[in-house]
Amino acid sequence: MTATAAALFGNFVVGCGVLVVPGMLDLLALDLAISIPQAGSLLSLAALTMCLGAPVLAATTSRVDRRLLLVLSLLLLAVGHVACALASDFTTLLWLRPLAVLGAAVFTPQVAATLALMVPPEQRSTAVTSAFVGWSLASVMGMPIGNLLADLFSWRVSFAAVALMGCVSAWTVWRVIPAGLQVAPLSLQSWSEVLGSARLRWILLATLLWCMGNFAVMGYITSALREVLGASPGMQAILMTLLGVSGLVGNIILSRQVSRIGADRGARVALSYVLTGLVLWVLALSVVHALWAVAMAVLVWGLGNFAFTSSQQARLAQSAPGLASASIALNSSSLYAGQAMGAALGAYLVVALGFESLGPSGVIILGAALWCSVVADRISTPRPDQPAN
């Protein structure tokens, strides 16, 4: 197994850990006798934890051997999900969920920065986007399988499955990633250089808005399908699988084409697919009222979904390789901040206006994300040995 494959599998496990709750949100709420918006607070709290944890942990662990750091982050993910599986009530689960996702705040950004150290400059974009295919696989398998396990057995079994995979991934990383890899220690100057770059700021803002608009809908997708269209758990799993398969295909296409078309264009195209998919989602729920229309929407939506995130990481690594550890950590922080904001917005909209209001809000926010991405494209990229503009 190569380092890229180990990173891909690790991202798959981390993605399953993050996405398992949205995939079984309605079943978890039913079992714990709480409302959907209450259950949605699990999403917001977890995302807020990852948002704050990614840059803080990147700074405090910058002197730690990369292999050791990645292994410990996966073991923390495993321990946290075991604890969630054993939670006796919703309040306990609410306190434990941040622990379960803290490892995710470390692994995804730092494994991307680690790969950037291990491959030649001309291979960085391909390596980073290939590793992020793991998140696409998580959406293919993690969300629907988590939903089915929760439906057939219990949501506790879904958490336990993530914990088991975390242990396997930790062992794989220990076997494959070489010891002794170090990134440049992150100082205040590193963060200042990232935030002082106009190009990097616009890229990070695009990530935040993409995730906010995306998660306002995706965080409540199973509940919306059930409440609006009466979809059974089995049909929900099928549609989530379609979304994930589409995301996997889109990410694989991007990883093979990014060196030819460039990460900037890849991000723009991917985001256009997500925006189009959400427009189709709105039509499916509010006009057509049919599951076949939802299937068409998630097919288009998925093609750009994870491809956009991986292209964002590639843009950051290309723009300023020496700042990749800091910039990718901030990108993860932006992503998780967007999740928290999207989950909170979604919970409010469900109560105030109903599930049909989620899609239009997502479309507006995704349009703003696309505009930010285009602005970033127009700012020149410095040479690899220079700071970002």
* Closest to 308 measured CA to CA, from 135, 119, 54: 135
| pLDDT averaged per 10 residues, the chain (length 389) | 83 88 83 85 83 79 84 94 92 90 85 76 68 76 78 90 94 87 69 81 92 88 84 82 84 76 83 93 89 91 84 77 74 83 88 89 94 85 47
Q: What is the pLDDT of residue 171?
A: 95
* Cα dist from 218 to 1, 240, 274, whole Å: 33, 10, 12
CB 312 within 8 Å of CB 206: yes
Q: What is the pLDDT of residue 381?
A: 53
Q: What is the pLDDT of residue 385?
A: 42
Q: Which domains does the chain have, with CATH numbers?
A: 3-377 (1.20.1250.20)
CB 292 within 8 Å of CB 229: no
Return d(Cα 259, Cα 256) in angstroms, integer: 7
* Cα dist from 12 to 5, 25, 205, 215, 230, whole Å: 10, 20, 25, 18, 30
Return d(Cα 346, Cα 27) in angstroms, integer: 18
Return all residues near 153 (Cβ < 8 A) that are at least 6 apart. Answer: none
CB 319 within 8 Å of CB 382: yes
